[in-house]
């Protein structure tokens, strides 16, 4: 019978990686305590260390870009609504639809 693969939340992984980084216990000790293979713990540690710099990236420029694109799209949609409204009014006038006659 196949065993179910355990899944860890990002919070659980972070907690375990912090324990590794504290170096109070060896990876093999933590491996035994948590029931996780030492190679997996090494991989988590290396991923955490490699991606640590991303915590300090200022993403406000990305948010500003998204906001500007959104506002541009809204303006284009309003322009399209205005154009269609004008066309509809012209068609109604030419067809005699909605006139008082």
- Global pTM reads 0.55
pLDDT for 1 equals: 66
Region 3-10 average pLDDT: 87
Residues 13-58 pLDDT 10s: 999 999 999 999 999 999 999 999 999 999 999 999 999 988 887 7
Examine the domain organization and report whether 63 and 45 are in the same domain.
Answer: no
Whether 84 is in a domain gets the answer yes
Do 89 and 77 lie in a common domain? yes
How much is the average pLDDT of 61-65?
83
When divided into structural domains, the chain yields a total of 2
40 and 65 belong to one structural domain = no
What pLDDT shows up at residue 55? 82
pLDDT tens, position by position, 70-85: 999 999 999 999 999 9
Q: What is the rounded CA–CA span in Å between residue 89 and residue 21? A: 70
Burial (Cβ within 10 Å: 0-12, 13-18, ≥19) of residue 40: middle
The reply to whether 79 and 43 lie within a common domain is: no
Contact indicator for 43, 8 with CB cutoff of 8 Å = no
Q: Is residue 3, in this structure, part of any structural domain at all?
A: no
Are residues 89 and 78 part of one domain?
A: yes
What is the three-class DSSP state of 57? coil
* Cα three-residue angle 36-19-53, rounded to 5 degrees: 105
Domain assignment of residue 80, given as a range: 58-96
Q: Tell how far CA 40 is from the center of its chain.
A: 25
| 91 in a structural domain | yes
């Amino acid at each position: 019978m196949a065993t179910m693969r355990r899944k860890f939340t990002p919070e659980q992984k972070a907690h375990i990686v912090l324990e590794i980084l504290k170096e109070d216990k060896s990876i093999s000790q933590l491996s035994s305590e948590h029931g996780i293979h030492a190679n997996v713990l090494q991989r988590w540690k290396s991923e955490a260390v490699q991606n640590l710099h991303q915590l300090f990236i200022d993403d406000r420029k990305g948010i500003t870009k998204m906001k500007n694109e959104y506002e541009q799209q809204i303006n284009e949609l309003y322009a399209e609504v205005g154009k269609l409204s004008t066309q509809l009014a012209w068609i109604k006038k030419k067809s005699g639809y909605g006139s008082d006659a």
